[in-house]
Structure 1
């Protein structure tokens, strides 16, 4: 017997500094915010949004992506440890990958060049915590 799923729900990334990570993801993707604790939140609102853990949750196509700022300041991501290898977001075309390089360069983010990965093109890069992120575009 197996579990039937009906799609992707959410992913939460553990980050060191919510302000740094938020600037990065806001600039790169411009996603809408699904959940965020207001600065002037009362106790009831804080209790309702307990699941944010001081972070933010974005609404992305197909689900949610959260940033949770609980990692120690000297911690660094490694895809060679148990856990996440990388997260990949689809884009509509190769041109979007080329445009993403300009944004990544403006952010000072390390990245690879666009690669031919068989049925798709990919662009690999790192977020401020070194988390491996990828954009993938179908071949025309």
Structure 2
């Protein structure tokens, strides 16, 4: 009998520089922080939050998104290797996609134009994070 999964729980991305990645995800998405190692933690706090590996876990309506700063500084993401291809977040409308593109422009983040996927019933906005991880915003095209 297959596993009776009802939804995904979280995704954790391996990043090379937590300060750079955290600023990017804070600026772009503004998710609430669920767990983060505080500055100058005591031994008990370090032990309790050891699963973060010095990173952060965000909470949003769709689940949890973690950033784990364990990649070498010269490493970058590649969707053509085994593993993740891209990570897509949902928005409610085509206007939200255009608003997201405007925000990325304001932040100086390169992105593709909003693409209408026609009969698929959706449109997407593609861009990359500081580690070159492929990100997407998807919403209805009507």
2:133 matched residue in structure 1: 131
2:47 matched residue in structure 1: 47
- Aligned ranges for residues 89-108 of structure 1 at < 5 Å? 89-108=89-108
| C-alpha distance in 1 between matches for 2:141 and 2:113 | 16
| C-alpha distance in 1 between matches for 2:84 and 2:99 | 26
In the comparison of the two structures, how many residue pairs are matched? Answer: 140
1:56 matched residue in structure 2: 56
Any idea what SS the aligned residue of 1:80 has? coil
Unaligned stretches of 5+ in structure 1? none
Unaligned stretches of 5+ in structure 2? none
TM-score by length of 2: 0.94
Deviation at 1:60, TM superposition (A): 1.6
Deviation at 1:7, TM superposition (A): 1.1
| C-alpha distance in 1 between matches for 2:6 and 2:48 | 26
Q: Aligned Cα RMSD in Å?
A: 1.0
